[in-house]
Amino acid sequence: MKFILVFTLFISSLVADINGGPYLGISYGISQFNDDSYYQDIKEDKSKSSGFYAGAYINKHLSVEFAYVSFDAKDFGDGFSVVDNLGAEQTVSFSVMSLSTSAHYAFFNDTLDFYAKFGAGEMHKSYLNEEGFTMLYGIGSAYRFNEYLSVKIAYDSYHFGYDEDYDKTTDYRMKLDYVYTAVEFQF
C-alpha cells in the first residue's frame, strides 16, 4: 500500500500544471480521542499532535497529499491517558500515514483558500503494535503570503473501527479529531 501512495503522489506531481506544483508542510495542534466506550474511562482525551505532509497541486482547485501525523507529538505531548477494562491506567498514542485529495476554492486573487479533504490511511496504535484502516475527512482555510509560503488553519477527523478478537459482534467506532495550524512551502 505504501508503494501505491508514493507512486500516486509522484505521478500527480508530474502532471501538475502551471498553477500547481509540489508543496511541503508541517503542522502542530491539539487532538481529541473518542473511544466509543471501549475503555472503562478516559482520564485525558486531549493531546498535543504534530505532523508533516507533502503533496502536489494538480491545478488551483485540486491537490493530492501524503501525510504523517503523530497524535502524541513526540517530545511535545503525552498521548491519551486511559483506564482499561481491568482497571489499569495506560497511555495510548496513535500515528497515521494517509493519502488524501483536497478540493480548493480560492478568493481574493488566490490569496485566501478554502478546502475540503477526503482520504484514507493506515492507523498505528502504539502500545499494542496494531495497525488498521482509517478514513480521513477535513476542512480548512489557508492564507497565501506569496507564491511560496502560506499558513493554514484546519480540522481533520480520522474515523476507524476496532473489533475484539474474542467478541466478533462488538464493533467500536473510534475517532481522532485534529485541530491544527500549518506552514506550507510551495515549489
114-147: pLDDT as tens digits: 999 999 999 887 755 667 788 999 999 999 999 8
Over residues 138-161, the mean pLDDT reads 93
> Is pLDDT of 74 > 80?
no
> Is pLDDT of 180 > 80?
yes
Helix (H) or strand (E) holding 17, with range, is none
pLDDT of residue 117: 96
pLDDT of residue 18: 41
Question: Has this prediction a pTM greater than 0.85?
Answer: no
* 78-82, 106-110, 151-155 — most confident range: 151-155
Q: What percent of the chain has pLDDT over 90?
A: 40
Compute the distance between CA of residue 46 and CA of residue 134 in angstroms, rounded to an integer: 19
Fold that domain 2-186 belongs to in CATH: Porin (2.40.160)
Backbone angles phi, psi at 146, to 5 degrees: -155, -170
